[in-house]
Structure 1
């Protein structure tokens, strides 16, 4: 892999490899406003553009791309540690601090971007957030536990509201207005 060129196709089908596409795919796959089918369709359209392969190859290629060519199975039930939309400022600052690059000014392959993400300085904002999110507080006590729980809440996006919760909020604001 180290001596290979970064791929620009999957099984002969051209793919869009820019890191921005990878981020957009991740955001689409997380979008609570889309149905499961729409999420996948948007992700596939972003990756392949107009040159979509047969669906089985397209889905396989999508997984391959998101995992940066790694075919190993991902353990189910892993704790989510990062959100591209929520962490955008931290990512930008961390790339600037660690590599001296401004993400909006560079073109990076998705595989390259993800490798760089794994190599961010330990004292960068993104690494700090990941360290806090990953800290096990089950054995902590008192103020230390309270502080870490507070930090985790502040560094984690609020869960998406259900339709019922959205309707209740809308009804509340309708009464006030």
Structure 2
């Protein structure tokens, strides 16, 4: 996210500018679809339905533009090949994230209209002493690096705040972007099959245009 310009309100699809819903809730939902553990055909259908709900043409180009918008808020880098445990989940951690934004920024996430890029910048800048950041530390700390007298405590905290079985194992924005790219390639192949067969999800099919 650039300090010197307003975050974008549009995305470009096939050279055409489309207005897009920039609210963080929309992109958390988009992320949820991308990270859902389901077969690629169903994922492609859900992505097409989501694009249509936003007034966007369901296509590979749209998906690529949405992914660019989704990930462009971060310039965070991670050493390639390094795997991290999952630090947070926007849905499962919603109460902690709500409390952190209220405490640190005075923002009520239940009513605030907040651009996705701004939301992510604020989320990543939460102070380390807030509850959600402590929980993220518990989840991601390597017990090999913890002093012997503290290991039991961290084991208990890891157990107490463990995420549900549907998590994907990302820690940083780069982890997420790498995972999204893989899922995109799989969904892209499924979208191509749907388009060629004329099934729902084809931007030119009769069922999609209704």
Residue 5 of structure 1 corresponds to which residue in structure 2? 6
Q: How far apart are 1:139 and its partner, in Å?
A: 3.8
Residue 24 of structure 1 corresponds to which residue in structure 2? 29
Residue 172 of structure 2 corresponds to which residue in structure 1? none
Q: Any idea what SS the aligned residue of 1:10 has?
A: strand
| Rounded Cα–Cα distance in structure 2 between residues aligned with 1:150 and 1:44 | 42
Residue 123 of structure 1 corresponds to which residue in structure 2? 129
Is the CA contact 1:19–1:113 (under 8 Å) kept in the aligned structure 2? yes
Q: Say whether 1:61 aligns with 2:65.
A: yes
Residue 164 of structure 2 corresponds to which residue in structure 1? 158
| Rounded Cα–Cα distance in structure 1 between residues aligned with 2:128 and 2:75 | 28
- What number of residue pairs does the alignment pair up? 158
Q: How far apart are 1:40 and its partner, in Å?
A: 4.4
Q: Say whether 1:38 aligns with 2:42.
A: yes
Is the CA contact 2:48–2:59 (under 8 Å) kept in the aligned structure 1? no
When the two chains are superposed, the root-mean-square deviation of aligned CA atoms in Å is 2.5
C-alpha change, 1:154 and 1:68, in structure 2 (3 Å) is farther
TM-score, normalized by length of structure 1? 0.75
| Rounded Cα–Cα distance in structure 1 between residues aligned with 2:21 and 2:42 | 19
| Rounded Cα–Cα distance in structure 2 between residues aligned with 1:59 and 1:21 | 14
Residue 172 of structure 1 corresponds to which residue in structure 2? none
Gaps of 5+ in 2: 167-210
TM-score, normalized by length of structure 2? 0.65
Q: Any idea what SS the aligned residue of 2:8 has?
A: coil
- Residue 57 of structure 2, aligned match among 46, 52, 59: 52
**Over residues 26-46 of structure 1, what are the superposed CA-to-partner deviations in whole Å (9 max), with x where a residue is unaligned?**
2222333x4333334434543
| Rounded Cα–Cα distance in structure 1 between residues aligned with 2:77 and 2:103 | 32
**Over residues 122-166 of structure 1, what are the superposed CA-to-partner deviations in whole Å (9 max), with x where a residue is unaligned?**
221111111222211114465521221221122122314xxxxxx
The answer to which structure, 1 or 2, has the higher relative contact order (CA under 8 A, 6+ apart) is 2
C-alpha change, 1:78 and 1:10, in structure 2 (3 Å) is farther
| Rounded Cα–Cα distance in structure 2 between residues aligned with 1:52 and 1:129 | 39
